[in-house]
């Protein structure tokens, strides 16, 4: 496909480049609104796929940085607890869309590594919260400042308003 602006040299576009629609269209006919929307959605899906891959790689590397035996999901769990504070495992399971048994297994390892502790719920002495330890906070700070924080590094130079706008758009996508 050729893209360009009238009066400027034209350039060929690779099939996977944003803005490219590889489906056949009638020559000279403008794409339909439905076709344009489907193409734009496909672009978003492709970019989200690339981002998901970066996040998976970053989480894997961060988990290994904290401890060689730590699984990427345990790292995700640790970050969640740090961000939201002491939380019931059932609430974490619901927030992360996993079974409570997954949280239990990962939390057990995090406790054994000294990264998470359990605290009694002051409102219900039978229930427990999961909370991060000072060691976990130090290790998470080291991850954020280290080489494994791919997404953090890529976003660190963005204007704050753009970051808020991106976060709002992602929240809109994540909460239909």
At 15 the three-state DSSP class reads: coil
What are the structural domain ranges in the chain?
A: 32-174
Looking at domain 32-174, which of 1.10.287.1060, 3.40.50.10300, 1.10.10.10, 3.90.1820.10 is its CATH number?
A: 1.10.10.10
pLDDT tens digits along 116-156 = 999 988 888 788 999 999 999 999 999 888 766 778 888 88
Task: Say what the pTM is.
Answer: 0.69
What residues form DSSP beta bridges with 152? none
For residue 52, CA distances in Å to 47, 48, 56, 65, 150 come to: 9, 6, 6, 20, 12
- Mean pLDDT within 55-82: 94
Residues 119/22, Cβ–Cβ less than 8 Å: no
Q: What is the pLDDT of residues 24-47, one digit of tens each?
A: 555 666 678 888 889 999 999 999
How far apart CA 172 and CA 146 sit, in angstroms, is 30
Beta carbons within 8 Å of 88's beta carbon, 6+ residues apart = 121, 127, 128, 129, 130
Specify the DSSP class assigned to residue 8: S
């Amino acid at each position: 496909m050729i893209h360009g602006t009238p009066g400027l040299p034209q350039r060929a576009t690779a099939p996977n480049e944003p803005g490219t629609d590889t489906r056949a269209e009638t020559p000279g006919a403008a794409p339909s609104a439905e076709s344009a929307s489907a193409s734009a959605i496909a672009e978003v899906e492709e970019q989200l796929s690339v981002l998901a891959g970066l996040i998976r790689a970053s989480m894997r590397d961060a988990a290994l940085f904290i401890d060689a035996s730590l699984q990427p999901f345990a790292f995700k769990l640790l970050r969640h607890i740090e961000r939201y504070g002491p939380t019931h495992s059932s609430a974490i399971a619901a927030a992360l869309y996993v079974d409570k048994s997954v949280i239990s297994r990962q939390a057990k390892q995090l406790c054994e590594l000294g990264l998470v502790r359990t605290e009694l719920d002051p409102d219900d002495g039978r229930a427990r919260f999961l909370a991060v330890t000072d060691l976990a906070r130090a290790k998470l700070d080291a991850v954020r400042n280290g080489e494994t924080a791919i997404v953090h590094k890529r976003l660190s130079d963005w204007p704050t308003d753009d970051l808020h706008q991106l976060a709002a758009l992602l929240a809109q996508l994540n909460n239909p």
